[in-house]
Amino acid sequence: MAWAVASAATQAGAQGAGASLQELEREFWRCDHAAARSLLDAGTAAQCSIAYEALNKRRFGGDFGAMLAWWRANKDAEHLALSAEAERKASLTP
């Protein structure tokens, strides 16, 4: 299941620097949420890594500490929103 969630998000990672900052952030959170729930397959993990690197470079200028602080400040709310989104989608599936 985590693969399906994360793989839907990997398009921005495949685009790397061509993705908008908003797309990279959304992908980062989907990957982070999926990885927190289960192990990602190698392909998805690679795409998530590309998205992470692009986001870190573009939003934080490569400053891991700044990205870590941002992650800590936003993780709970982002994961809660993604869990709620997954539940809504699951309730619509017959």
Q: How far apart are CA 75 and CA 44, in angstroms?
A: 20
Give the pTM. Answer: 0.79
Residues 13-55: pLDDT tens digits? 445 557 899 999 999 999 999 999 999 999 999 999 999 999 9
For the chain, the structural domain boundaries read 2-92
Query: What is the residue whose two structure tokens read 């993780």?
Result: 75
**30 or 10, which is more confident:** 30
CA distances from 69 to 56, 73, 74 (A): 12, 6, 9
